[in-house]
Amino acid sequence: MPPGFSASAGASAAAAARSTFRAGLVAVGGAYVLWGVFPLYFLLMRPAGGVEVVAWRVLFSLAFCAALLVATRGWRRVAEIARRPSLLLFMGLAGALVFVNWLVYVWATLDGQVVEGSLGYFINPVVTVLLGVLVLRERLRPLQWVAVGVSAVAILVLSFAHGSVPRIALVLAFSFGLYGLVKKHVGPRVDAVSGLTLETAWLAPLAAVIVVVLASTGSLTFAADGVGHALLLVSTGVATAVPLLLFAAGTRRLPLVYVGFAQFIAPLLMFVIGVAVLHEDMPPERWAGFAIVWVALVLLVVDMVRAARAAQVTGR
């Protein structure tokens, strides 16, 4: 072995690891930034209502995925999944959950409730932890229990501030949390493109019915409000798939702790858009509720870092 071979090989491996890390960070960060600015994107689609936007989102996402599968010759993977009834049913369940999530998210955006939508994604990590206990029988660490309790206090404060339970936030948090639970169950057996293809394929008949009903009642805005508006609705297919693919690419390259940090980018951007751009109402009680939620998230982040360091020490 030539002198210096081990050192140069080590340096090359370190450089490759840094490059992989940077690529993963850019991909995951890009995905969450895109998700975070989605409110501005969906507001451009007025006068289309939330139901129409989601119906086109399903149909054009399916069309985009089909084109992508043709280009990458990925239909074999989809066919393999489709031949496994249990996986196919789980994709149907994931499709139903994502449909609820998309519908509530778009409706909240178009109804001027972006801030409450951001709350849903702020508390989603806490909901995910709670679902781990209720569904997977996981044992929580002390800080995780404290974070769950603090979040419950925040919801009570926000309920008092509004005079009602923040339903939009809770539906978004639990629908996305359950969606994540289904995706965790299927794991690497279903890749990102195949998963989105099958989820939207399950939803396509419902979306088609919605389009037909809206057209028959004269409520369909597609092609009735100009070419630009129609192209915006068509673009929902690409806009749905691209951040999902970026996220899938990034998570393969990053440690889980960094993915955990990045997930707060989207709700933070939504919150800023709701408050600073759309000027949604933020009375002191609402600020207090959000502050308590952020305390819960800090606790989760601290716990996440501690767990990651402990895993490194034990070599797991």
CA distances (Å), 90 to each of 51, 106, 132, 269, in order?
Answer: 24, 24, 18, 31
Dihedral sign, CA of 254, 260, 262, 263? positive
- Which range of residues forms the domain containing residue 202? 29-314
Confidence (pLDDT) at 131: 85
Please indicate, yes or no, if residue 13 is contained in any of the structural domains: no
- Per the CB < 8 A criterion, the answer to whether 75 and 18 are in contact is no
- Please tell me the total count of domains within the chain: 1
Question: HEC string of 138-203?
Answer: CCCCHHHHHHHHHHHHHHHHHHHHHCCCCHHHHHHHHHHHHHHHHHHHHHHHCCHHHHHHHHHHHH
Spell out the per-residue pLDDT of the chain, length 316, in tens: 555 556 566 667 677 777 788 888 888 889 999 999 999 999 999 999 999 999 999 999 999 999 999 998 889 999 999 899 999 999 999 999 999 999 999 999 999 999 999 999 998 888 888 888 888 787 878 888 888 888 889 888 888 776 778 899 999 999 988 988 888 888 778 888 898 999 999 999 999 999 999 999 999 998 787 889 999 999 999 999 899 888 888 877 777 667 777 888 999 999 999 999 999 988 888 899 899 999 988 888 888 788 777 766 665 5
Confidence (pLDDT) at 8: 63
Confidence (pLDDT) at 193: 87
Per-residue burial over 45-56, b = 16 or more CB atoms within 10 Å of its CB, e = otherwise:
beebbbbbbbbb
Please indicate, yes or no, if residue 274 is contained in any of the structural domains: yes
Please indicate, yes or no, if residue 121 is contained in any of the structural domains: yes
Confidence (pLDDT) at 314: 64
Please indicate, yes or no, if residue 7 is contained in any of the structural domains: no
Confidence (pLDDT) at 89: 94
Amino acid at 173: A
Confidence (pLDDT) at 3: 57
Please indicate, yes or no, if residue 14 is contained in any of the structural domains: no
Put simply, whether the predicted model's pTM sits higher than 0.85 gets the answer yes
Please indicate, yes or no, if residue 9 is contained in any of the structural domains: no
Please indicate, yes or no, if residue 133 is contained in any of the structural domains: yes
Confidence (pLDDT) at 103: 95
- Per the CB < 8 A criterion, the answer to whether 214 and 118 are in contact is no
Please indicate, yes or no, if residue 1 is contained in any of the structural domains: no
